[in-house]
Amino acid sequence: MSVRAEDYPNRPVRVVVPFAAGGAVDVVARVMAQHLSEKLGQNFYVENRPGASGNVGANAVLQAGADGYSLLISASTFVVNPIVAMEKPNFDPLKDFTQIALIAKGPLLFIVHPEAAMSVKDFVDRAKANPNKYNLSTGGYGSAGHMSAESFKIKAGLNIPVVLYRGTGPVLNDLVGGHVSGLLDPLVTSLPLAQSGKVKALAISGTQRSPLAPDVPTFAEAGFGNFEFYTWYGLWAPAGLPADVLAKIEATVQDVRKVPDTLKWFGAQGLEFSGATGAAFQDFERDEQTKYEEIMKVGNIAKQ
């Protein structure tokens, strides 16, 4: 094992992204692949394998074997798909994969059409008074944006629909056009619209305000405490990855903290670099599954 770790990597390493090129997961993966390549002296290249809500790419990594030469970078959907999907994947993300690191996470911004509301309380009051005129929306079933919208409905006691779209782009277009009332979305895509005045930002789903949007209150500050949701990205390998190879990759991920430009890049995307590994990452994943399972149950949300 020690010889294997000393030699690793002695050939190019495939980093599978289970979504199309150009999306948030793909961009995060390419930044991390560049960092791994520079630190470990071998080419870590990104391969996009989209399909089945990320399951096609995950299976490709699983079938490649636990030698450290096929890694997976994905988002929260990888862990929560078994909770929200009608057809469960043929693997358990916690048991069949080695949790290498939680790369980064970032809160969601609650944005609305400028005429929809002036504050979170105002949105709730108006939606209760006119439930047929208000709704929430999401760019993907089972996503952090979807589950946070459903959770907000439960917490606020709202009886309004959550309109499902295929992709965030069409949602944002319809929000600007006034066809939907609001959504929760990562800062990297929602904040520019808020800064331009095309939408209004009412709250952020983290425990503290974002330095990118210091004037936007947290949900707790807006009167809806204990409301915490994140979009997040992780790094995995098939279960059985040799411990010393795992330790080497973990240590290299941690080195991101020593690269100011990379940390600055994550911050500019509205993300906080985490680097949590081992039990801490596993606990985070289990907490996410528990949270989503509870939302599905209390909200009586049908699996799709």
Q: Give the tens place of pLDDT for each residue, 87-115.
A: 888 999 999 999 999 999 999 999 999 99
Q: Is the pLDDT of residue 83 over 70?
A: yes
Residue 42 — φ and ψ, nearest 5°? -145, 155
Query: CB of 104 within 8 A of CB of 246?
Result: no
Residue 261, CB-side half-sphere exposure with 13 Å CA sphere: 4
φ, ψ (nearest 5 deg) of residue 182: -170, 170
Q: Is the pTM of this model over 0.95?
A: no
For Cα atoms 284, 251, 268, give the angle at the middle one, nearest 5 degrees: 65
Longest dimension (CA), the chain: 68
* Crossing angle (nearest 10°) for helices 260-268 and 24-40: 180
pLDDT tens, position by position, 146-167: 999 999 999 999 999 999 988 8
- Is residue 138 within 8 A of residue 170, CB to CB? The reply is no
Question: Which band of pLDDT confidence, cut at 50, 70 and 90, is reported for residue 4?
Answer: low
- Mean pLDDT, to the nearest integer, of 49-69? 92
Pinpoint the alpha helices (H) of 22-167: 24-40, 55-64, 77-84, 120-129, 144-156
- Distance set, CA 211 to CA 125, 173, 204, 270 (Å): 29, 26, 11, 9
Is the per-residue pLDDT at 2 higher than 80? no
- Can you say whether the dihedral through the CA atoms of 45, 233, 85, 142 is positive or negative? negative
Distance separating alpha carbons of residues 237 and 151, to the nearest angstrom? 31
